[in-house]
Amino acid sequence: MKHKLALFDIDYTLISVDSLIKFIFYIFKLYPLKILCLPYLLLISLVKILGFISIETLKNNWLILLKNVPPERLDEISLNFVEKKIKRWIKPQVPQLIDKLRAEGYRIICASASFEFYVKHICALLNVTEYFGTEVEYKNERYYVKGKNCKDYQKINRILSKISIDDIDVKNSVGYSDSKSDLPFLQIVKKFYLISKKRWKIKKEYKI
């Protein structure tokens, strides 16, 4: 039996904010002294904008903010972050839409460039059990990006690593995102809906 997929981006799609920026400010609130890293991190961000380093290198540098935070503590921080900060930013129509699509037989999958350690808690709020985010690994009391940043075609690679293309009902599958960078969704869905960043509104529909 083939699966109808409903693919969702998260930031500015299911929620009306950039979760990574919110998470960084949340970490600064928990650990005020870490703000001393900010000048360096802004400089390294400029280096990325100029194209001299990869997005993975940039994220590895920002992960310095989590140095000496063990995985158990990070999971606790991530859960509290989602409950206290992100929950309020879920677009009001989203839970009902996900429930409706699930009732219609869709397999709901979220794919985000945000870090998977808190993406999983956002998805839990929405009763979504299948998700992909940028993975990290903990080594020598530091976190590093594991593999590639989960964006663009990497989202499709991650999904197809778990679901065979032969098992997808492409012609009846759909995708939702605020960004055209997720148009690669059209490799495995027939329709792609471009969503307004601040509210749930379809701006444009793309079809294969």
Query: What's the pLDDT tens digit per position in 49-98?
Result: 999 999 999 999 999 999 999 999 999 999 999 999 999 999 999 999 99
157 residue type, one letter: N
At residue 1, does pLDDT exceed 90?
A: no
% pLDDT > 70, the chain: 100
CATH hierarchy code of domain 4-207? 3.40.50.1000
Q: How far is CA 78 from the centre of its chain?
A: 13
User: What phi, psi does 9 have (nearest 5°)?
Assistant: -75, 170
At residue 150, does pLDDT exceed 90?
A: yes
36-48: average pLDDT: 96
Q: Provide, for the chain, the percentages of residues in helix, strand and coil under a 3-state DSSP scheme, each rounded to the nearest 5.
A: 50, 25, 25
Mean pLDDT of all residues belonging to the chain: 97
Taking the C-alpha atoms of residue 195 and residue 177, their distance in angstroms, rounded to an integer, is: 6
pTM: 0.95
pLDDT class of 135 with cuts at 50, 70, 90 = very high
At residue 99, does pLDDT exceed 90?
A: yes
4-26: average pLDDT: 98
Q: Residue 122's CB: how many other CB atoms inside 10 A? A: 26
Taking the C-alpha atoms of residue 56 and residue 206, their distance in angstroms, rounded to an integer, is: 29
Domain boundaries in the chain? Answer: 4-207
